Structure 1
């Protein structure tokens, strides 16, 4: 049974137990609410309840700041590694309207991914770059807060990358996988630590909700200024 199926079954059992213990009159509103929740999960795949959860999280300034720092890490590392992005969404409602789970995030250009699929495998050079990109959010959180909270989906993306490597590069043990994830994390941290001013500027633009083009222009200008200072 799928995870969603297990959740629905658990809700149904809980509703039956409550109705037995409290009686049908007292338990009726609660059971009706459970029924609506199950219907929403079946009909809409849990998108409305997911939107509500994302809004409750987004209401916390501390949560928003952590998300912004996480996504700024992705953005800076992507630019440094030449990974094409097409935009970002940092708003639960906008993400919901576009079919993106949670609060959104940076959006990858899908053209390279389609190219890998057509070729039947991912070159190691691209795995290294994209793996470092995916761990950049966790790297940014770790550098600022000492640990990462929002990296579960990013780690899954790295696992998918590694599973797409041709068979000459097997990743069959959890120890190898963990070592590779940590290596990507260290590479991301090194890139962010090398460009702290640029990272801070991107964070500021995301806090202000700047348009994508303005974020990219500010990022590029900051890196150019850093390069000129080093000459």
Structure 2
């Protein structure tokens, strides 16, 4: 899902180039695309130099968040991580739905962690834990976002590239990492599939920017209906 500010700049320059070529055919002054190009490049330079590209990232997230299908997909993806983490005994301490959780532009520009496009679920890591199946649980949580998209979005996935990269780093030393990866995805799908109604209720809450406490309450209330 991630699209960088540089990618958008490249698209904009390509569009302006095409405007220059087509403009001569329809009588458009070549000054117009030249002025637009200079303005865009200047804005890009200022954004990169002063705000590390966060203004562009915020604009991308804001624009994509106008699409209801995109908001729904992202909320299912992050709700999958959240629900799997909770079921497997991890404490969720923060989450973000890209471009949806209320943050003003000023807050974003002042933030050191905002990356704009990708959401995320942050869990509490207990470094003292010594569990035989701890890696299995982590792997399942990593793949739960992709699993949620496959379950709720007709089998298609758009997000999860970062999840897969982190998973592969975590299991790179295993004898058969691809077997572990496939197992984690299957396990996540089974876990979420048994709790589909909970996933739907949680995704709706997260899309609306509910607090962590409200999300936990939603899980508990929705879980009562499937018992």
Query: TM-score, structure 2 length as denominator?
Result: 0.73
Among candidates 156, 164, 170, match of residue 161 of structure 1: 170
Aligned match of 1:134 = 142
Deviates more, 1:198-207 or 1:44-53: 198-207
Distance 1:9 1:204 in 2: 33
Query: TM-score, structure 1 length as denominator?
Result: 0.72
Aligned residues: 209
Q: State the Cα RMSD in Å.
A: 3.8
- Specify whether residues 8 and 139 from structure 1 end up closer, same or farther in structure 2 by C-alpha distance, changes over 3 A only: closer
Aligned match of 2:85 = 78
Distance 1:8 1:218 in 2: 38
Among candidates 51, 59, 77, match of residue 58 of structure 2: 51
User: What are the residue-to-residue correspondences of 1:71-220 with 2, within 5 Å?
Assistant: 71-90=78-97, 92=99, 94=103, 97=108, 98=111, 99-101=113-115, 102=117, 104-109=119-124, 111-112=125-126, 115=127, 125-145=133-153, 146-163=155-172, 169=174, 176-220=176-220
Distance 1:181 1:201 in 2: 27
More helix by share: 1
- Specify whether residues 44 and 208 from structure 1 end up closer, same or farther in structure 2 by C-alpha distance, changes over 3 A only: closer
Q: Give the gaps of 5 or more residues in structure 2.
A: none
Q: Deviations over 1:33-54 (max 9, x none)?
A: 2422441224322211111111
Distance 2:40 2:189 in 1: 44
